[in-house]
Structure 1
Amino acid sequence: MAEQTEDIAGLVDAIVRPLVEFEDDLEIVASDAEDGSILVEVRVNEEDAGKVIGRQGRVIKAIRTLARAAASRTNTHVEVELLD
Structure 2
Amino acid sequence: MKELIETVVKALVDLPDEVTVTEASDDRTITYVLSVNKDDMGKIIGKQGRVIKSIRTVVYAAGTGLNKRIHLEINE
On whether the aligned pair clears a TM of 0.5, the verdict is: yes
- Which 4+ runs in 1 deviate beyond 4 A? none
Q: 2:58 aligns with which of 55, 66, 81?
A: 66
Equivalences, count: 76
Deviation track 1:27-79 (CA, whole Å, cap 9, x = no partner) reads: 111121x2331111010011100000011101101111111111112322110
| Alignment match of 1:24 (pick from 7, 14, 17) | 17
Amino acid at match of 1:51: K
Query: 2: distance between equivalents of 1:64 and 1:77?
Result: 12
For structure 1, which runs of at least 5 residues remain unmatched after alignment?
A: 1-7
Fraction of identical pairs, as percent: 36
Consecutive unaligned residues of structure 2, counting only runs of 5 or more, are: none
Larger strand proportion of the pair: 2
